[in-house]
Every structure is written in C-alpha cells, then in structure tokens.
Chain A
Amino acid sequence: MATTSAPTPTPALVLPGFTLLAQGAEARVYIGRLGGLDALAKHRFVKGYRHKVLDDKLRAAHTVAEARSLARARALGVPVPGVLMVDTKEMVLYMELVHGITLKAYLQAMEGLEIKDDVGPHHLPPNAMAVLAAVGKDIALLHNGDVVHGDLTTSNFMLRPRSPSDAAVLASKPLDPSALVALNILHLEVVTIDFGLASVAQSDGLEDKAVDLYVLERAFISTHPFAEHAFAAVLGAYAEACANDDAVLGRLEDVRARGRKRDMFG
C-alpha cells in the first residue's frame, strides 16, 4: 500500500541552554541566557513548501525587519526588548527577555477586584487607567514615527517591574489584585513586544494606524468586561500624544464600520 507521508516538520534548532517556549506559524521562540542575560531566541524556521530561494529571502527579510523595527521603536522613546544579536545564517533574532506580566494578565486580575465606590461597575481604578494611558501614549509615539506594530493585542504589552519589591507582586501566583492595583506607573513600565509583523507606514499611513488601533480594540472587547472603559483610556492618551489624532481616529470610525479587511494585502 502506498503511503503518503505528512510533510516532515523542520527539526527544532539546537541552541545550547535554550528551551522551546512557544511555536507560531513562522517562528519558534526559545528561552535561555545570552551573555549572562535572560534572553529569547526567535527562530524563523525553514518552510519546506516554499521555494528555497524565496524562503531564505523571506526569512532573512522578516528577521532583519523585526530587529530594525525594535531599534526604531526604541529610538522613538518606546520601551521595547533590546536586540542582543542577529544570526543571519540561521535566521535567529536574540532579544532581551522582558520580565513581568502581560497587560492581559493584569486586566484579568483587575476583574477580580471589587470596587466599592459610586462610579459604577466595570470601571478601573486610577492606577490601572494610568497603565492604559501609557499604552496609548506608546502607540502614539510609534505612529508618530510611522511605525505600525501590526499585531497589537493585550498580550503584546508587558508590564515590567521597576524594583525587586514590584517584581515580587508581579511574580505572585495567583496575582493578588489588591497588591497589583496599588502599583502605579512609577512601579510598572509598559514594554511593547513582538514586532514580528511591524512595518513602516506607507504614504499617510492612516489606514495602517487606524487598523492597528482597531485590532487592539477588538482584543480588548473580546477578553475584558470593562473593555469600553479601558480602551477609552488608551485612546484618550493616544489622542493626546498623536501628531494627527483627528485623522487617525476619524479613520478608526471608518474601519469600525467596515472591519479591517480592506487592508488585506499579502
């Protein structure tokens, strides 16, 4: 009997001291140490179904683009993981591991918080609103520099502790909502991660920027009960820091009305 074998998955890259953390469609992410620092290694693996020459070119282009986007974001004043090393032979991007918790975990912990005041249900305390404002400001800084993140979700923002005692709060499992909410923005630094789909905005960039915000809004709505309130804090800070907020937010209205699909190329 003839058997058809499934395409062999590309073997995992052997990186001494690194262990597999996550696998995506394009890359595997490993965690380990580099030069004495906690590090992530993002390996864009060979895709056997693509022509080899094309595959090599695409993997190299994506690896390099991600490293450049990270450097560009940092130059714009947006905290992002440091690029430690780029292996352009194996297509591995080595980055600083960002400690802390995701914005998603933070917001989920906030749901466990009982807020006793007269503002009403499904709202957030001031410290959380300030964290969300920092998120909005960072997106605006990226957009002012024409960097479009391309995959804004509540998992792609980390909250990094600024001191060991802050780190202890973030490390407790489960998270203690009341200890967490006591931390203000002087204790937590918002770090934007995963620039794997980032690009430089073309022409006026309005569509790309509006879609960036729209995708994040959908992420909020799908996971958090106080989404509307929370995302309003993001947008408020965005508008304050964005150079052409009227145009971008106007376009966001259009995108909301039709969905992001108009912009689907490639």
Chain B
Amino acid sequence: MSGELEVVQLECELFPERVVSAVRFVEVTNAASIRKEAMSGSLGQLAVLDGSLVIGPTQLAIATMRALLADASNSLITHTVHSEIIYGLSPSSSISAAFKNHGVSKKSKSLVLVWVDGDAEAMKEVCGKVAGTMVPVGADEHDWMQVADMAAVARVYDIGDSLDAHTSHDEILRLVLEKMALRDA
C-alpha cells in the first residue's frame, strides 16, 4: 500500500465526542493473513469487516452507534466495542454467524476497517499491511452497492423476497437497516 490514506470519518451523530474512521479496500489478496493478525490482536483495536455485505456509510455508522450504545449501557454482547461493530451489522443474534458473515474471512476480496477513536499512526500501519486497492469510503450508496455482493446481501439479510430489478438503492438500504434493527426487537 502506498499513497495517501483515504480515511473517512463516519457520521455517528449520537456520539459527537467519538471519532469513527473508516477505510475501504478492494481487490484484496492477503485476507488470510489480515484475518490471522486481526484475531491475534496484532492489528490493535479495530473492526475488520468483509466488504461484500457493506452497502454504505449509513449502514456502517448505524452498526457503530449500536455498538457505542451497548457500550454506554454496559451491555456489550461481544468483548469490545470494535467486535460489537461486526455484531452490529448482523441481522442474527448469533455471534458466530455475525463473525462468519460480516468479519474478515480468508476469502475476503474487499475489506472495510473501522476504528473508534483510532490513532492516525496505528491506522496507517494497519493499512500498510493490506495488499489491495484503497478506495474512498464515499457517501454514495450506489457506488457501494456496485462493490458489495448483492446476492449475499439479499441472502444474509433475508430480503430476497422484497427485491426485484426495480428496487431502488434507498429501499435496499431501508430493508437492510430494518433487518439489523429488528434483531433487537
């Protein structure tokens, strides 16, 4: 990895005092080693997400705010705020399903890294370890849905029945966020 870091701050309005940073990589070739390092803890405190189920910054921000809310009320289901972000993306209350679907896997081709109150140097170091192409975490959901594996999104979030060729990106986002939210309801 070379060049400028394309770090973007996610809008987590309910927690204005926290700085949430995200970086996205595509065409990743060393997911297996990143996964190993993430699990050993040598990457420090961050969430390493498989990019194929991430459909935009809103989804990321809301998963992060769910984690921060759980942290604030001492009701984290997982060990840390960062692992809770992975859990926050999941429509299932199963922790293992959440990590299997939303965490980095050996076969991940795209990755999204999220830091809460991350240190700039540490972020740079981690990004340097990823073999892939860094792309900006744009605000545009359309762009994200090009990169995401929409068939997997439909399957994991169980929204296939509500989708057809004409379903707007706004509606897909609504369906996904609803599935995430309804896990707690």
Contacts and interface: CB of A to CB of B under 8 A. Distances in A.
A206 to B, nearest CB: 28
B3 interface: no
Given A35-B61, A89-B73, A16 B13 contact: yes
A74 B178 CA distance: 10
A34 B66 contact: no
A33 B13 contact: yes
B59 A35 contact: yes
Given A34-B65, A82-B177, A84-B177, A68 B185 contact: yes
Interface residues of A, number: 27
Given A64-B185, A67-B182, A85-B66, A17 B162 contact: no
Interface string A79-101: 00011111111000010100000
Contact of B14 (A15, A82, A86, A96): A15
B75 interface: yes
A63 interface: yes
Nearest to A39: B13
Interface residues of B, number: 31
B41 interface: no
Contacts of B73: 89
A94 B69 CA distance: 13
Name, among B14, B66, B182, B184, the residue most crowded by chain A CB atoms within 10 Å (CB to CB). B14
B126 interface: no
Question: Binding site of A, secondary structure by majority: helix, strand, loop or mixed?
Answer: mixed
Interface string A11-38: 0000111000000000000001111110
Name, among A16, A32, A85, the residue most crowded by chain B CB atoms within 10 Å (CB to CB). A85
A185 interface: no
Interface string B50-61: 000000011111
Contacts of B62: 34-35, 84-85
A3 B60 CA distance: 52
A85 B65 contact: yes
A32 B181 contact: no
A74 B14 contact: no
A85 B180 CA distance: 8
Contact of B178 (A16, A64, A71, A88): A71
Contacts of A32: 13
Contacts of B59: 35
A87 B11 contact: no
Nearest to B175: A74
A179 interface: no
A67 B185 contact: yes
A70 B178 CA distance: 9
Contacts of B69: 87, 89
Interface of A: 15-17, 32-37, 63-64, 67-68, 70-71, 74-75, 82-89, 94, 96
Sorted nearest first, the 8 A-B pairs with minimum C-beta distance are A82-B174, A35-B61, A35-B58, A64-B185, A67-B185, A17-B13, A35-B62, A89-B73
Interface of B: 10-16, 57-62, 65-66, 69, 73, 75, 139, 161-162, 173-175, 177-178, 180-182, 184-185
22 contacts: A16-B13, A16-B15, A34-B14, A35-B13, A35-B57, A35-B60, A35-B65, A36-B58, A68-B185, A74-B162, A74-B174, A74-B178, A75-B162, A82-B173, A82-B178, A83-B177, A83-B182, A84-B181, A85-B181, A87-B69, A88-B184, A89-B69
